[in-house]
Amino acid sequence: MAILEVLRFPDARLRNKAMPVEKIGSEIRRIAENMLDTMYAENGIGLAATQVNIQKRVVVIDLSEKKHDPLVLINPEITKLEGCETMREGCLSVPDYYAVVERAEAIEFNYKTLENKLVTTTTDGLLAVCVQHEIDHLNGKLFIDYLSPLKRQRLQKKFDKREKQQPSVL
């Protein structure tokens, strides 16, 4: 078990674009396990490898109340987007900040499992929002990128102030 460091906005490494996983073997299984441990430790419902500075297209999600239903998505891809809905989102890389974001209401997506099985499925609601949020991370995009310029500016000021008060060791 390992808890990994979660990168926090405005860390530039959150803007990296993750590379497709070529081989699903012991390294990817270890990464997925550590990502799940980290997500549970941080009380998140999802985590993308980019957030723990691993440039591979791996996502973990668990929407169950008792945290016993993990989903590991390898090389996830959205193939269809339908409708539009708004939901209040948070992000482990943008602590203590929540905002309403507009995204597709329903999606069709595919991914590989740790057993190297290709799954194609459709979903909506919180899972659809979470999958879109996590795939954005793999592409170097954050939910705050959807905010208006004024809201982004306010948020940037808040995090600049925080950085001055508690500088991150880099």
- Residues of this chain that bind Zn ion (CB under 5 A): 91
CA distances from 146 to 44, 51, 141 (A): 21, 18, 9
Measured CA distances, 107 to 31, 38, 64, 83, 94 (Å): 26, 26, 20, 9, 25
By beta-carbon proximity to ligand K1U, the closer residue of 25 and 145 is 145
State which residue, 24 or 131, has the beta carbon closest to Zn ion.
Answer: 131
Among 10, 70, 90, 140, binds ligand K1U (CB under 6 A): 90
129 touches, from ligand K1U, Zn ion, none (C-beta below 5 to 8 Å by class)? ligand K1U
Q: What stretches of 48-121 show up as alpha helix (H) in DSSP?
A: none
Residue 76 contacts ligand K1U per CB under 6 A: no
> Of 116 and 168, which has the nearer Cβ to ligand K1U?
168
The helix (H) or strand (E) run that includes residue 57 is none
Q: Which of the ranges 8-16, 41-49, 152-160, 162-170 carries the binding residues for ligand K1U, by CB under 6 A?
A: 41-49
Among positions 134, 135, 138, 144, the unique one binding ligand K1U when judged by CB under 6 A: 134
Q: Where are the beta strands (DSSP E) in 4-161?
A: 46-48, 58-61, 71-82, 85-89, 99-103, 106-112, 118-124
Which is nearer to Zn ion, 22 or 96 (by Cβ)? 96
134 is catalytic: yes
Which residue number is nearest to Zn ion in terms of Cβ? 91
Query: Total number of residues binding ligand K1U (CB under 6 A)?
Result: 15
The yes or no reply on residue 75 touching ligand K1U (CB under 6 A) is: no
From residue 67, give the alpha-carbon distance in Å to each of 39, 40, 53, 60, 115.
Answer: 10, 7, 24, 12, 21
Residues involved in catalysis: 134
